Amino acid sequence: MKISRNFFKNTTIEVAKNLLGCVLIHETPHGKVSGVIVETEAYLHNDPASHSFNGQTKRNSPMFLDAGVAYVYFTYGMHFCFNVVTNKKGIGEAVLVRSVKPLEGIERMKKRRRVSDAKNLCNGPAKLVEAFGITKEMNGDSLISGKLRIELPREKGKLKIGSSRRIGITRGAEFKRRFFIKGNEYLSTKNLV
DNA sequence: CTAATGATGAACT
DNA sequence: GTTCATCATTAGG
């Protein structure tokens, strides 16, 4: 089911939780890949861990666009990560998508990732970017109805949502702004509460 | 099983 | 020069 732009205009923490259970879809010339979002992290404008903390730069500028667009950034010299921009235009907040449970196009993902274990395809931010074929060219694109998009599940049911400190950061580490579906098999890390 | 390490580049001090 | 929202591989127990 199509998602609305208002979904992304909520507070970033709420969007991070609401994205759990939603479906990430990418229609490529080679076929469709999709999966259920099972792990996210919220990055706020006044958050020392956020790329937007020190204001707008060339790299983080998509974070200051309208809610519902993609922010894809290059990191550690070899990886890309995928975020969904939230809140109002000009604020600079986003949700990092950290893990996805693969649904469609699993063979395609295995080829791109060069691994065979389905649980190891999308359980990390740079992994899912590679598995889905997301590229820096999609930086700033709308995620509402394009080839790369997010859809609401037909029926979300009641999810057990857990929260923890975010992964791989030092500044702002005290904030519990990582959200995940409790007990899910496809998380990037399991031993955090 | 867990821990250490190297790859590699943009942004910042 | 150092840091960084990472991952695959290797070394160790």
Q: Per-residue pLDDT tens for A9-45?
A: 999 999 999 999 999 999 999 899 999 999 999 999 9
The pTM for the full model equals: 0.95
Residues A69-86, mean pLDDT to the nearest whole number: 97
Considering only CA atoms, name the residue closest to the C1' of nucleotide C3.
Answer: A76
For helices A125-132 and A106-113, give the axis angle rounded to 10 degrees: 110
**Helix, strand, coil fractions of chain A, as percent rounded to 5:** 20, 30, 50
Q: What is the pLDDT of residues A141-193, one digit of tens each?
A: 999 999 999 999 988 778 999 999 999 999 999 999 999 999 999 999 876 76
The CA–CA distances, whole Å, from A177 to A51, A57, A67, A121, A150 equal 15, 24, 19, 24, 21
Residue A88: pLDDT over 70: yes
Q: Residue A192 has what pLDDT?
A: 72
Pair A103, A58: CB distance under 8 Å: no
Half-sphere exposure of A42 (CA within 13 A, CB side): 26
Q: Taking CA A90 as the corner, what is the angle to CA A86 and CA A92, rounded to the nearest 5 degrees?
A: 50
Please give the share of chain A, as a percent, with pLDDT higher than 70.
99
Residue A193 is predicted with a pLDDT of 65
Whether the beta carbon of A192 falls within 7 A of nucleic chain C: the reply is: no
Q: Which amino acid appears at position A37 of this protein?
A: I
Whole-number average pLDDT of chain A: 95
User: Does A120 contact strand C, using a CB cutoff of 7 Å?
Assistant: yes
Would you tell me how many other CB atoms lie within 10 Å of the CB of residue A122?
31
Residue A121 backbone phi and psi in degrees, to 5: -85, -45
Residue A24 CA, nucleotide C8 C1', distance (Å) = 25
pLDDT value for A154: 87
| pLDDT value of residue A158 | 87
Question: Measured in angstroms, what separates residue A1's CA from nucleotide B4's C1'?
Answer: 45
